Amino acid sequence: MHMRIGFIGAGNIGGTLARRLAKLGHQVSIANSRGPESLTALAAEIGATPVSVVDAAKAGKIVIISIPTNAVADLPQDLFANVPSSVVVIDTGNYHPELRDGRIDAIDQGMLDSQWVAQQIGRPVVKAFNNIFAKSLLEKGVPKGTTGRIALSVFGDSLDAKAAALRLVDDLGFDPVDGGDLDNSWRQQPGTPAYCRDLEATALRRALAEAVRSRIAEYRADEEARIRRYIAAQAAKG
Ligand SMILES: NC(=O)c1ccc[n+]([C@@H]2O[C@H](COP(=O)([O-])OP(=O)(O)OC[C@H]3O[C@@H](n4cnc5c(N)ncnc54)[C@H](OP(=O)(O)O)[C@@H]3O)[C@@H](O)[C@H]2O)c1
């Protein structure tokens, strides 16, 4: 079933998801911080409509927020005030305090990344697509039943909203895995055993179960250290 899908953020992850979903026939709108004019070329290339952030929030049955975590606090106040509660909001974000976002005290004190996003925007969110790199999202989707199909987990409190996100996962070529409620979404935050590993469903479920809640901050710091090493290695290659 084709749907209207709005994107707030059209970078690596938002842009890749928008590209793949437009190709699948969905009616996709994309927005960023610089305004629709800045997205004209990308929108034409992928078959999407460039819109403002305010219009992207009203543009679909599903709205996907794919911006740096700290930027969520800069979104217009009451962005979702008149958006029907049936609209599913998906958060792809990962909190990177040292590398990008700066410190967000509430998260440092134990709030989960997506719980903080939900609080900022005043709406429940489903956490999805934060746990796959853009390149895998672009290249590794395959039809259902294909051997070695990568699985992606989704967390959220509304069963209907989560079902919509799980359908998107499947449509994009990945095995959908219901990870549980949002309070368990730390299991796929940065650096956890399930994070961006391109695992099949059985291995993904095992990795999600293996994660240890008391290690959330440690997982995050490990992931930031890994990214730093990767950036340094890329720079050394020239
Ligand atoms: N890259 C990955 O492989 C990956 C994987 C999983 C999850 N994530 C997470 O997903 C989120 C997006 O990552 P990304 O890699 O796609 O980032 P990115 O390439 O830097 O793109 C960020 C997008 O957010 C937009 N944006 C920034 N501030 C905004 C604001 N205040 N209002 C509206 N739009 C705004 C940017 O628009 P402008 O360019 O106009 O500022 C841009 O389109 C992050 O939380 C990231 O950690 C990334």
| Predicted confidence (pLDDT) per residue in 29-80, tens digit | 999 999 999 999 999 999 999 999 999 999 989 999 999 999 999 999 999 9
Phi and psi torsions of 89, nearest 5°: -105, 125
Q: Which residues pair with 176 in a beta bridge?
A: 152
Ligand 1 and 10: CB distance under 6 A: yes
Residues 106, 89: Cα–Cα separation, whole Å: 21
**Residues 126/89, Cβ–Cβ less than 8 Å:** yes
Q: Look up the pTM and report it.
A: 0.98
Ligand 1 and 158: CB distance under 6 A: no
Asked whether the predicted pLDDT for residue 169 surpasses 90, the reply is yes
Asked whether the predicted pLDDT for residue 99 surpasses 90, the reply is yes
Distance from residue 174's CA to the centre of ligand 1 (Å):
22
To test the pocket of ligand 1, the residue of 7, 8, 13 to mutate (highest count of ligand atoms within 8 Å of its CB) is: 13
Distance from residue 66's CA to the centre of ligand 1 (Å):
5
Residues 127, 65: Cα–Cα separation, whole Å: 10
Q: Which atom of ligand 1 is nearest to the CA of 92?
A: 10
The pLDDT of residue 136 is 98
Report the run of H or E that residue 217 belongs to, with start and end.
Answer: helix 216-237
The pLDDT of residue 53 is 98
Q: What is the DSSP string of 100-161?
A: II---HHHHTT--HHHHHHHHHTS--EE-SSSS-HHHHHH----TT-TT--EEEEE-S-HHH
Distance from residue 147's CA to the centre of ligand 1 (Å):
32
C-alpha distances in angstroms, 143 versus 1, 26, 52, 134, 175? 16, 18, 34, 18, 9
> 């989560």: which residue's tokens?
162
Residue nearest to atom 3 of ligand 1 (CA): 133
Residue 80 identity (one-letter amino acid): F
For 99: left if phi > 0, alpha if psi spans -120 to 50, otherwise beta; the answer is alpha
Q: Which atom of ligand 1 is nearest to the CA of 93?
A: 45
Percent of the chain surpassing pLDDT 90? 98
Asked whether the predicted pLDDT for residue 1 surpasses 90, the reply is no
Ligand 1 and 8: CB distance under 6 A: yes
Confidence of residue 126 (pLDDT cuts 50, 70, 90): very high
Residues 121, 77: Cα–Cα separation, whole Å: 8
**Residues 23/48, Cβ–Cβ less than 8 Å:** no
Structure tokens at 212: 């240890």
* Burial zone of 144 (CB within 10 Å; 0-12 exposed, 13-18 middle, 19+ buried): exposed
